[in-house]
Amino acid sequence: MNLLENLGIEVTDKSKTRVILKMKLEDKHMQPYKIMHGGISTVLAETAASIGANLNIDDDDSVAVGVDIMTHHLNPVKDGVLVTEATPVRVGNSIQTWTVTTHLDGHAIATSLSTVTLKKVALKTV
């Protein structure tokens, strides 16, 4: 089982310019205090940015890997469906930076905001 299956993350849209994920919150995503674990926001952000970044790599011998992530937890989440949207800030030859927002489905207020930087590396070195 991979991370997306284990956490129940669904890829609903993906392109070189936008990736959208959805995830229904379950007990496994929560801290003991019944608030979503902050690491979930970071997992969603890096997953969405990685999918988009890899779509921007044209050769089959390279892959985008995360080198930096900054996540700001803006509002606590207790239940519902999270929607994560990633869009590129800069797509360079070897470095890409993506901005990622997560919010509850049907709500405009973000629950987290992340910046993810990824680097193109040869598969031989991964």
Residues marked active site are found at 46
Length of the chain: 126
Q: For residues 38 and 105, is the Cβ–Cβ distance under 8 A?
A: no
Cα 81 to Cα 61: distance, rounded to the nearest angstrom: 36
Sheet holding 9-14, edge to edge: 9-14, 19-24, 81-91, 95-104, 110-122, 62-73
Q: For residues 119 and 65, is the Cβ–Cβ distance under 8 A?
A: yes
Looking at the DSSP bridge assignments, the partners of residue 97 are 90, 117
